[in-house]
Structure 1
Amino acid sequence: MKLKTAVSKMPVRLGAHWWMLGLTVALFVLVAVFVDLQPVVDENFFFSTSDPQFQQSKKIEQRFPSQPEVILAVSSRDISSPRYLGRIQKLTQQINTIEAVSAVKSLAEGPKSFKDALASPFWSRLLIAPDRKSSNVIVFLEGKDPEKPIKHLEQIMHELDERDFRIHIAGPPYVVEMIRRSLAHDFGYFSLTAVVLFGLTMAAMFRSGRVFLGMLATCTSAVLLTLLLQSIFGKKIGILTVNLGTIVFVVALSHLVYMTFNWQTLADRMGKKSADLAAAARRMTFPPSFWSMVCASLGFGSLLIVQAKPLRELGFGGVLGTIVALICSYVMYPSFLRWAVPRKSKLVEAEPSRRFWSRRFVLLSIAVILVSAGLGFGLRRVNTDPSLLDYFKPHQELRDGLEYVDRSGGANPLTVVVAAADGSKLNTDAAYQKMWTLQGALENYKPVGTVISLPTLLAEGDRTPFSFFLSYEKIIEVAEQPKYARVAKSFVNEDRTQAVFLLRMIEGRHDKHRLEVVDDLRSIARKHGFKTVLVGGIYYLQGRLAELVASSLVTGLFWLNVLFIVIAWIVARSVRGALAMIVSLSLVPLCMLGGIGWLHVPMDVISAPATNVCIGIAIDSMIHLVFGVRRAQRDGQKGWQAWIAAREEQWRGIVYSDVIIAAGFAIFVLSDFPPTQRFGLVVLAGCVIDILANLFVLPLLGGARLKRK
């Protein structure tokens, strides 16, 4: 009651809507001037520098200095022909002119000749594909920002690419840049288009320019204020928070749709010209909106304890956005309702009769529950560790290039640091032989493509004249000299007790979880007399992130359900009502995640948060319906009659808020970036499940008589 009283006393002055529009314009200017809207994506976007998973990769970089590399796989019918080798030389020379490129290795720069490269255990693995239909140009980059060098590389590729000299590109800097471009494109284009679709749907439903303007100004202000506060707190737009603006827009819009329909409902009771109409709609809508905000904040808050940086960023932004959305909705929007006149469109007026809502829909509800239970068995099939290739659309130049490089030796790097099981040094003849045995075992493991390591480097040293006079320690010392780019420092530490194996993992053979593959590699190392000291690289970080996404889905949903039990009891104020809310809510993740599992849809880190969005929508609808039941009970209606009255009162808000949300997210399906497509599809499916669970299953479980008298 105190919440209602506080809200009802909030002043709404005549003409306040113009001040609110001015506030929206001011926020727009502040965001345009002070907020960087470019998504920040780098090779370490999976984790922050303080995360344990990233620390392992950082230790490897410190002990074994190396630079990010881009791989160009250049295919031809005859890679030994003078014409091909001449064009490789031209390609190498042009790449060397790029400012951010520190070194280039190719058949024209490294080995003495093509025959020398074939004979070399080191160069043959690094530069020549196993089928000898392509060779690699390895480009080493300086700095962490790949945007400019990748653009220059693409220009050179387009100039030199031809029918018998096809250039395919891969490597972590390139993949990161492609993800950044896709996110930036979708952030600017699809977010704006989604807002336009939201607006058109709102205008069609409410037939009021003032209501439409109020909704647009309020939702836009919520998004802008969230972005501004994020920037003040030092948060950048990341791989997951790129969709935060759309999420906040949807959360705010949901509050406004319910308030508007309650405003129209009250107009039938109080009269369209009542001076207290907007304030009454605000009082009626605020309590369920407040508890919906609490539930949504708890859902996002569960991500704050996850070790993965992007999930924590989304958790912080989600909590902030849900609070800001509630404040903007109840501070800004009532002034527009006071300005407007209630008017129903033909679309909204075409409503079902009271007799329709008095039906229990037993068969439909049972069917929804049974289908949800069946889909729930697909939870074990959810793939939270998709292939790197699944981030890009099939049958496009980008994906085709990655697949070609992947088939030619692997496209995803993994770094494994090993030491002798007995702690002995690795610069002896015996250690060299053991490392060669390990090299062969790793190369024979199915998910592994090319392997470059200390023994391959030492084998190259063995090919030099009079090398039999030199010990392996002396060869390492020579390879540490600036003349040879200190290459040995990237493969062995100073006390010669640890060595690096650089693996290119084949994503096309991705039929096991990455961490299981890493465990297999550890076992192979143990079997051959070595222990694995450190593991790093994008491949390993992806595996750790996939594990955290899976655990965050489980633990997040678990704690949300635990907290929702308390909130359901507070809202429903009966055991049966609370149980009905919990069961109905559980149908949403069962259907969504189970369906994803059965359909083998990859659940990547970008599309995974769609589950949080849909659960938030479902909770919002559920709480508004139950508060409608409580209002009907206060008016003297009991049992099933109270649920009939609540459905009749709230069905518009439930259905049309989902329709508006679905219309906005539907545009994401047209994206060329598969994670964005999956995000939109999951939200669309969630909106359908929400309507079925809240308008049919929840009333049956919560209020229907089990037997007719």
Structure 2
Amino acid sequence: MVRWVDLTPRVEQDFFFAENDPQIADSRELARRFPAPEQILVRAAGADPATESGRRRLRALTDALAGVPGIERVYSVVTEDAQRSPLWRRLLLTEDSAVTNLVATTDGRDGRALVPALEAVLADHRDGDLDLAVSGVPVIVEQIRRNLTRDLAVFTLAALVLFGLVTAVVQRSARLVAGTYVTGLLAASITLLLVRLTGGAIGLLTANLITIVFVLALSHTVFLTAGGRRHAWDAHAAVRTTVEGSFWAMLTTLLGFLSLLLADARPLRELGWAGAVGTLVAFACAYGAFPAFFPASREGGAHVEDELVPDVTDPATPPARVARPGRRPLLAALALALVGLAAGLPRLATDPGLLTYFDADGPIRSALERIDADGGSAPLLVSVRPADGSPVDTRD
């Protein structure tokens, strides 16, 4: 699997948008007609450009940033006349005189090489008096990629350990625990291969796909284990009596993931497709592989607890034991609650805002909020063409 599937999270500049989103189509067309270098914005708080010491610190920071490989030019209050120029005044100065911006243009190289060098420079100049925040598309993309890589490793390992321990406590059988691991990892591997073959990749919300599929497969192994105990580990009988309930559980999960395909945001759609594939694969792997790990079938009756769990597929099971009259009010209440919750579907946010994807206390959101308060780090591009088609590079 490692050979055929690239587990490195793929994060691109337009990863929040769907391929058919008209906004991203317009943005790409503007970028094609008017190519421009990517920009990185640094917010420097604590160095007042009106003082000599503040300008000296800003000069040192500007020169250091300009020396970073991949940065073509740095604009700051020490390189441009921000007081006289309306353009630079809006870009470099803020309402707080002690806070100023530095704008760096890049040569478009990979952020995995650019951002670490940039962060090293900022760390050298950051102290108790000078607070530095950085944002911009190359920086955000690289920070997201790092977080996804870390989450992929941490959550996958945590899931394997945690659910392995839970399975060991519940199953109390090394054979069944091994079967659970094999089933979950097999389902995750096949899911990653299928997602890869269909053009998918590890993205913003699919970094934990291995964990998701492992848990989905685990739920089906619980069904099968209960059926195996009920039928003295007869695999055919266990599958026959549990497949219906397991199927409906799988179907509801599948429909939930498929509903995400209706969203506009690309991360949600990627999660919907990958989750749908994983749901089907987990069901197939659980019923195709896990019964092979059942202990040897034993002749004789079932366990004592079987009396507490009626076999609903047995014609001899009294109907009263399957659906007791006392449960009908509860079922009716659940149905009414479901209808009430369905009324909120039109209010579902299918295109959430950019900041909602990040932890409120995380470094990415913190930097975005601080820099956005001073005007933001991404320019608004507007294309203007005279109605009569005349050129715009004339005096008129």
Q: Same-fold call, TM > 0.5? A: yes
Q: How much has 1:325 moved relative to structure 2?
A: 2.1
Q: 2:54 aligns with which of 78, 84, 103?
A: 84
Paired with 2:174 and 2:105, the residues of 1 have a C-alpha distance of 57
1:133 aligns with 2:103: no
Deviation at 1:189, TM superposition (A): 0.5
State the one-letter code of the partner of 2:161.
V
Alignment of 1:511-522 (within 5 A): none
Q: Determine the structure 2 residue equivalent to 1:324.
A: 281
Rounded Cα–Cα distance in structure 1 between residues aligned with 2:335 and 2:185: 37
Q: Distance in 1 between matches of 2:124 and 2:72?
A: 22
How far apart in 1 are the matches of 2:372 and 2:349?
A: 21
Deviation at 1:337, TM superposition (A): 0.9
* Match of residue 73 from structure 1: 43
Structure 2: distance between partners of 1:300 and 1:210:
32
Structure with the larger helix share: 1
- Check if 1:120 corresponds to 2:85: yes
User: In the aligned structure 2, how far is the partner of 1:295 from the partner of 1:246?
Assistant: 19
Is the contact made by 1:92 and 1:137 (CA closer than 8 Å) also made in structure 2? yes
The aligned runs of 1:637-652 (5 Å cut-off) are: none
Where 1:118 maps in the other structure, the secondary structure is coil
> 1:213 aligned to 178, 181, 189, which one?
178
Q: Find the counterpart in structure 1 of residue 115 from structure 2.
A: 150
Q: Once the 2 structures are TM-superposed, how far is the Cα of residue 69 of structure 1 from its aligned partner?
A: 1.3
How do 1:226-241 and structure 2 match up within 5 A? 226-241=191-206
For 1:220, the aligned partner's letter is L
Q: Does structure 1 retain, via aligned residues, the 8 Å contact 2:40–2:377?
A: no
CA shift for structure 1 position 194: 2.3
State the Cα distance separating 1:357 from its structure 2 match. 7.0
SS at 2:294 equivalent: helix
Alignment-derived partner of residue 314 in structure 1: 271
Residues 1:42 and 2:42 aligned together? no
**Quick check: 2:265–2:351 contact (8 Å CA) kept in 1?**
no
CA 1:319–1:402: 2 relative to 1, 3 Å: closer
Q: Distance in 2 between matches of 1:329 and 1:245?
A: 15
Distance 2:221 2:91 in 1: 59
CA distance 1:412–1:150, shift in 2 (3 Å): same
Distance 1:64 1:318 in 2: 39
Q: What is the aligned partner in structure 2 of residue 360 from structure 1?
A: 326
1:352–1:50 Cα change, 3 Å: closer
Give the 3-state SS of the residue equivalent to 1:98 in structure 2: coil
Deviation at 1:184, TM superposition (A): 1.9
From 170, 181, 192, the equivalent of 2:157 is 192
CA positional deviation for 1:161: 0.9
Aligned to 1:64: 34
Q: Which amino acid aligns with 1:134?
A: V
* Structure 2 counterpart of 1:335: 292
Partner deviation per Cα, 1:481-513 (whole Å, 9 max, x = no partner)? xxxxxxxxxxxxxxxxxxxxxxxxxxxxxxxxx
Counterparts of 2:261 and 2:361, CA distance in 1: 38
Distance in 1, matches of 2:247 and 2:333, equals 32
User: How far off is 1:59 after superposition?
Assistant: 0.6
Partner of 1:264: 229
Shift of 1:421: 5.6
Determine the structure 1 residue equivalent to 2:136: 171
The counterpart of 2:69, out of the listed 99, 110, 117, is 99
Tell me if the contact between 2:47 and 2:53 (Cα under 8 Å) persists in the aligned partners: no
Residue ranges of structure 2 left out of the alignment (5+ in a row): 311-319
What's the counterpart of residue 408 of structure 1?
374
The SS at the match of 2:8 is coil
1:330 CA displacement: 2.5
Provide closer, same or farther for how the CA distance between residues 119 and 382 of structure 1 changes in structure 2, counting only shifts above 3 A. Answer: same
Contact 1:210–1:339 at 8 Å: present in 2 too? no
How far apart are the structure 2 equivalents of 1:165 and 1:313? 41
Name the SS for the 2:166 alignment partner. helix
TM-score normalized by the length of structure 1: 0.48
1:393 aligns with 2:359: yes
Check the 8 A contact 1:208/1:340 in 2, yes or no.
no
Q: 1:96 & 1:229 partners in 2: Cα distance? A: 45
> TM (normalized to structure 2)?
0.82
Q: Please list the CA deviations of residues 220-277 of structure 1 after superposition, one character each: whole Å capped at 9, or x if unmatched.
A: 111022223433555321223223222322332222211111111223xxxx6xxxx1
Give the secondary structure class of the aligned counterpart of 1:415.
Answer: coil
In the alignment, structure 1 residue 285 sits paired with structure 2 residue 242: yes
The verdict on how the C-alpha distance between 1:258 and 1:118 changes in structure 2, with shifts beyond 3 A counting, is: same
- Residue 212 of structure 1 deviates from its aligned partner by 1.5
Change in CA separation of 1:90 and 1:389 when aligned onto 2, cut-off 3 Å: same
Indicate how the Cα distance of structure 1 residues 100 and 33 shifts in structure 2: closer, same or farther if over 3 A, else same.
same
Moved more, 222-231 or 208-217: 222-231
Contact 2:190 2:281 in 1 (8 A): yes
Write the letter of the residue equivalent to 2:279: T
In the TM superposition, residue 374 of structure 1 has moved relative to its aligned partner by 5.1
2:127 aligns to what?
162
Once the two structures are superposed, the pairs formed by residues 567-646 of structure 1 within 5 Å of their partners are none
Contact 1:263–1:278 under 8 Å retained in 2? yes
**Structure possessing the higher radius of gyration over alpha carbons:** 1
Which of 229, 235, 246 aligns to 2:211? It is 246
- The alpha carbon displacement at 1:381 in A equals 4.6
- Checking the alignment, whether the CA contact within 8 Å between 1:71 and 1:137 is kept in structure 2 is yes
Q: Quick check: 246-255 or 391-400, which moved more?
A: 391-400
CA contact (8 A) 2:11 2:203 kept: yes
Q: Deviations over 1:271-301 (max 9, x none)?
A: x6xxxx1222123334554566566556655
> Is the partner of 2:26 in helix, strand or coil?
helix
* 1:327-382 deviation line (CA, Å, top 9, x unaligned): 3223321110145889x999x89969998973524554455455555555554554
Q: Is the 8 A contact 1:70 1:138 kept in 2?
A: yes
In structure 2, the CA distance between the partners of 1:101 and 1:341, relative to structure 1 (3 Å rule), is farther
CA distance in 2 between partners of 1:69 and 1:100 (Å): 11
Sort the Cα spacing of 1:55 and 1:128 in 2 relative to 1 into closer, same or farther, 3 A.
Answer: same
Q: Distance in 2 between matches of 1:193 and 1:54?
A: 37
Kindly provide the amino acid, as one letter, of the partner of residue 259 in structure 1.
L
The percent identity for this pair of structures is: 38
- Give the conservation status (yes or no) of the 8 Å contact 2:258–2:273: yes
Q: What secondary structure, in the 3-state scheme, does the structure 2 residue paired with 1:416 have?
A: coil
Q: 1:370-449 counterparts in 2 under 5 A?
A: 371-372=337-338, 375-376=341-342, 378-379=344-345, 381-411=347-377, 413-420=379-386, 426=392
Decide whether the 8 Å contact of 1:259 with 1:281 is kept in 2: yes
Change in CA separation of 1:166 and 1:349 when aligned onto 2, cut-off 3 Å: farther
1:183 deviates by 2.0
Relative distance call for 1:126 and 1:180 in structure 2 (3 A) is: same
